[in-house]
Amino acid sequence: MKNIITIALIAMLTLTSAFASGAAEKPADDGTLKVALLLSGPANDQGWNAIAVAGLKAAEEEFGIETSIMENLGIADTEAAYRDYAAQGYDLVIGHGFQFGAPAAKVSKDFPDQYFMATESASQTDNMASYVTSCNEGAYIMGMLAGYMTKTNIVGVEGAMVQPSITKELEAFKIAVAEVNPDAKVLSVYINSYTDVTKGKEAAISMIDQGADVLYHVANQAGTGLIKASEEADILCLGNSYDQNSISPDHVISSTSYDIPNVIVKAIENVKDGTFAGGIYNLGMADDIVQIAPYHGFDEVIPQDVKDAINKRIAEIKDGSFVVPTIESPTN
């Protein structure tokens, strides 16, 4: 198994003495560590939720922990889910997505001897941490690909919800398209669902009908509808969170890929050894947490100068000489 302890991640998790002082020093009780994972959609979505499940399963194998997963949680139900698991004595409850942050912080104050976590959140307490992936870095690269590969000079992107963790991806995608192809038009839409595949497909069809020939999604399970629409229209598309080429090998050029499993395993290890600290931790390409999936069958299709430009930009993002803008409110 890939070494879960990276130097960059350790640095982030022990960022300051202030965070360290917020960590409870006691490890879990003598019994088996219990960890729960809360998801906004199905665990087998081949995308956003699947990568969190992979992390939980890896930790289960690594540490022999007891785990539980709650799927398809609506926003209104997240606080109750956190509270229920905490009341059952779970040592760590993880919510996977921005919407889990505020409920986690609220519940954590009522259970000071247990631990809480959310991904993509902006919340924190002494015993609650947020792990924020710089998804906009990956989306920027997807925008470069779309801008270079379009033949109609019209590309499209759909998001699940208007929320910072999703909006920052759509905006970074649009910026990159404009930078590499100023003549291109970017269509964008929010479908207000993480799980409605039909909505995802319908939104994609609408953009295809307007001439878009390369599409990208930030819509969790609903985004598989965009991939299906791209397949049926025989156009190119880009996956999100997970290497989604396997869904449609002849149409998914590449995908953003987030090493959330590594983050989750490390957080669980910190709970296990008593070093878990509340705080907000930002992780991106420089930490090898945000990555780009292989081009697979498109490796020979994508021009070499395009691949070179993308590799150069990734290197610049990693060394800090180029910073992808973080825009968390829709610009149009």
In 3D, which of 155, 135, 136 has the Cα closest to residue 145?
155
Q: How far is CA 224 from CA 163, 233, 254, in A?
A: 20, 14, 14
How much is the pLDDT for 13? 36
What is the arrangement of strands in the sheet containing 66-70, beginning at the earlier edge strand? 66-70, 34-38, 92-96, 115-119, 128-133, 279-283
37: pLDDT strictly greater than 50: yes
Q: What is the identity of the amino acid at 208?
A: I
How much is the pLDDT for 34? 97
4: pLDDT strictly greater than 50: no
Residue with tokens 């397949």: 231
Return the exposure string of 298-321: e unless at least 16 CB atoms fall within 10 Å of the residue's CB, then b. beeebeeebeeebeebbeebbeee
- Residue 218 tokens read as 């930030």
Residues 67-96 pLDDT 10s: 999 999 998 999 999 999 999 999 999 999
List domains and CATH numbers for the chain.
7-134+259-287 (3.40.50.2300), 135-256+292-319 (3.40.50.2300)
Residues 132-181 pLDDT 10s: 899 999 999 999 999 999 999 999 999 999 999 999 999 999 999 999 99
How much is the pLDDT for 158? 98
Residue 126's pLDDT band, with cuts at 50, 70 and 90, is very high
Q: What is the Cα–Cα distance from 173 to 189, expressed in whole angstroms? A: 13
CA-CA-CA-CA torsion sign (251, 256, 262, 267): negative
Question: Percent of the chain beyond pLDDT 70?
Answer: 91
Residue 332's pLDDT band, with cuts at 50, 70 and 90, is confident
* Mean pLDDT over each residue of the chain, to the nearest integer: 90
How much is the pLDDT for 23? 35
15: pLDDT strictly greater than 80: no
Residue 2's pLDDT band, with cuts at 50, 70 and 90, is very low
Helix residue spans in the chain (DSSP H):
7-13, 17-21, 48-63, 78-87, 101-108, 135-149, 164-180, 197-209, 223-233, 260-273, 304-319
Residue 47's pLDDT band, with cuts at 50, 70 and 90, is confident
Q: What is the Cα–Cα distance from 251 to 302, expressed in whole angstroms? A: 13
How much is the pLDDT for 142? 98
Higher model confidence: residue 221 or residue 308?
308
Residue 274, CB half-sphere, CA atoms under 13 Å: how many?
7
120: pLDDT strictly greater than 60: yes
Return the exposure string of 26-64: e unless at least 16 CB atoms fall within 10 Å of the residue's CB, then b. eebeeeebbbbbbbbbbbebbbbbbbbbbbbbbbbeeee
CA-CA-CA-CA torsion sign (231, 234, 240, 244): positive
Residues 18-31 pLDDT 10s: 222 333 333 445 47
How much is the pLDDT for 160? 96
Helices and strands per DSSP (H, E), number in the chain: 11, 12
Q: What is the Cα–Cα distance from 221 to 239, expressed in whole angstroms? A: 11
Find the helix or strand (DSSP H, E) in which 327 lies: none
Q: What is the Cα–Cα distance from 104 to 308, expressed in whole angstroms? A: 42
66: pLDDT strictly greater than 60: yes
Residues 240-292 pLDDT 10s: 988 999 999 999 999 999 898 999 998 999 999 999 999 999 899 999 999 99
